[in-house]
Structure 1
Amino acid sequence: MDTSFVAPSIYQQWNWLNPTMDGMHQLQNRGNGLCLMTDNNSDRNAVWASECNSSKAGQFWENDLPSQIASHYWFDTLRVSPGSSAVYSSDNNDDYNHHGIPLETHYWNPSHN
């Protein structure tokens, strides 16, 4: 039996910062201090880490939806790309109905404290 264990990297862990925009929060990476950011340039938006800036709407997220993290741009939630580890922000219903992307790619579960 393999008893080895690799602790999750702090670069894969995120903290919710205090709400400042319409009750939404910034998500700050524990490893590098950068905030998760997106834009609203298409129906599938890139997600990246950027210097935290409370005036950037693309850095604000909410987790009021069960198992989903919604961006400040309504109807867009974080998702993984099927078959890869790429993360995007897009509308889950549009992804499913028009592109066949499973709804489960939009589901997230907390796993650190």
Structure 2
Amino acid sequence: MNRTLRKKRTSTAALLFAAASGLGFLAPATAAHAAAPDPVYWSFSNNTYYPNQCLTGGKKNSQGTSSVFMATCTGSYYQKWDWRGEDPTNPSFLELQNKATGLCLATDYKSDDYNAVWASTCEWRPGMRFRYVFNDDMPNSGGELMSDFTHPPYGDYSELRPAASGAVYNGLPDFAWNGTF
């Protein structure tokens, strides 16, 4: 076989190997390549006090945050929330990420009542850990949508609650949330 033909065959074989590797045909199957499960999106309404009103994330502003408020339930992506993350300090609380904006629910610790609620970049910091607990004792009332206050200054947890204005605060107990997915 002449030298030119051998060189062409070697180059062609190398090119095919590189292409197959790049497409993943020759890569071993690993956990890193396993598909992540699809998110399960939740909607939260507070029908006891505000019929057909759902927790809604606003459009992202120039600071990269958004408002959170109650609005008529439409099923839009702004009303869909996904539980995400894993908090090693308190595994029963997770981040709650909005499907439309990719931002996570957040609150502050300025008082033990009427704390602001908004959506911000998802990160593990105080005020960004939440959970939903259905009240078996009061099946017609719904459940609690709580934030973790185990991190200083207040300790324990506090519930989200809507106001007549449509604003959402974090503070005194509200057992009327209905979480559905």
Q: Normalised by the shorter chain, which TM-score bucket?
A: 0.7 to 0.9
The corresponding residue for 2:115 is: 45
Give the ranges of 4+ consecutive aligned residues of structure 1 lying more than 4 Å apart after TM superposition. Answer: none
One-letter amino acid of the counterpart of residue 90, structure 2? D
One-letter amino acid of the counterpart of residue 18, structure 1? G
* Corresponding position: 1:78 with 2:157: no
* Corresponding position: 1:87 with 2:154: no
Residue 29 of structure 1 deviates from its aligned partner by: 0.2
Q: Within 5 Å, give how 1:1-113 maps onto structure 2.
A: 7-20=74-87, 21-23=89-91, 24-42=93-111, 43-54=113-124, 56-64=125-133, 66=135, 67-73=143-149, 74-81=156-163, 83-92=164-173, 103=174, 106-111=175-180, 113=181
Secondary structure (helix, strand or coil) at the match of 1:53 reads coil
Secondary structure (helix, strand or coil) at the match of 1:64 reads strand
Query: Distance in 2 between the 1:19 and 1:65 partners?
Result: 21
Contact preservation (8 Å) 1:15, 1:29: yes
What's the RMSD between the two structures over aligned residues?
1.9
Q: Which has the larger radius of gyration?
A: 2
Contact preservation (8 Å) 2:144, 2:176: yes
Structure 1: state its 5+ residue gaps.
1-5, 93-102
Query: Distance in 2 between the 1:109 and 1:65 partners?
Result: 8
Contact preservation (8 Å) 1:14, 1:29: yes
One-letter amino acid of the counterpart of residue 168, structure 2? V
Contact preservation (8 Å) 2:146, 2:158: yes
Q: Structure 1 residues 8 and 64, CA, compared in 2 at 3 Å: closer, same or farther? A: closer
One-letter amino acid of the counterpart of residue 77, structure 1? E
Give the paired residue count. 93
One-letter amino acid of the counterpart of residue 106, structure 2? M
Residues 61-70 or 19-28, more deviating = 61-70
Residues 58-67 or 39-48, more deviating = 58-67
One-letter amino acid of the counterpart of residue 81, structure 2? W
Secondary structure (helix, strand or coil) at the match of 1:107 reads coil
